[in-house]
Structure 1
């Protein structure tokens, strides 16, 4: 046996007296990243759907505002599990059409038969199938999530300002990102206060926005990450602005055409060394917002 290697023992949670579906649900709720679907935030847990039961988890991408309707099942997938997953997805997309929605099935065993059935829907219904395994290593138990069927590539949907304004506080963002990257929002706030001293940071669950006289005033929004800060600036896309941003060496994410946002990825060095350009962009956005 290789030195340091410990062979894991698989646990079947469906028949285990301690590790229940509620246990798995709470683990994902506490840290949605374990699913391997990206930087997701918990939107709701056991969301009630009249006449349709409870949706186990509603997750949302912190950047694109894509929503994932997640249904959990211990043991093997079955017909009822698939129907519930699609039904919850359908209810949510009709209730909140401003978002892009994706159904997610999570089960201990996704059989080849049901994988074939699920794949039939994938051309018209965005579906992801994830198989989870509980492994015992010594005195510890871990969960491994493996995507066995991914969805077809689709477009992204960004924020809806009113629906996204779920209040939180600075401590939430410092834990979710870091104190250093949250402080970059402070520096940029100082910049915009140069042309409007009444502006304040407004901490929401999916972004840090701006407020004026207690009301949202979002011509820019901030999304701190672990090592950088994403700055969204509400400006129409032009060749002139594209050239200025590229010349400044600022990394951009894809321009959000639906919401009219430039999306810039900033480091501390860029905030300091490209302060003049950032001020110009934010002031242009402010003037458009104030017009």
Structure 2
């Protein structure tokens, strides 16, 4: 894992757009299938609120596998959605999803020491709109948000490539988190440019729609497909980053474990 220059983050974004242009229909159908699956699991009694989050790593490998298919000249089909459900990756990816929830709870829970629990109550929906406005004015919610972000960013670095590493390299959860964290750390400037570029794209695209169509129902209707397309391209950009840092992956059943260093 070599250290990459900051400009590489912009190249990943460009490569993400390039991958999407090759099979926009296939990637869009994959995303729609993903949304349908998330809607289906959200209605499961008792676990409906947790399952969509826990299954994010499981379903996320479908998008990077779709990008690999594009690299290999293969079609992207909705059947890729079951990729993450195959063993031996499936139970490890589930564990990653559970850990994701736990880290989010820890980060937001720690913010209660700063604002007395206002941010926690807002996230969990315990405050209505009027109560939320009053609580925000009388609390240190800004500092609480910064505290939660400061605690969660290192976890996000560890989660960044953990799912594809588990799926393609077939390594343990701990090793996947370790490799992902240090991959991001070694090229932190590139990831800062990557995040800043995507933030700028999101803001500029939404503002352009607002300028052209105004704050109208049509503008809101157009925002939905635009957000979907940008989300898909962002997944493609993450694959481009993985490909440069860890190399082009082989089939999940034929990958070489990271346990053994390369010559």
Q: TM-score, normalised by structure 2?
A: 0.24
Which is helix-richer, 1 or 2? 2
Bigger relative contact order, structure 1 or 2 (CA pairs below 8 A, ≥6 apart): 2
Which is strand-richer, 1 or 2? 1
Structure with greater Cα Rg:
1
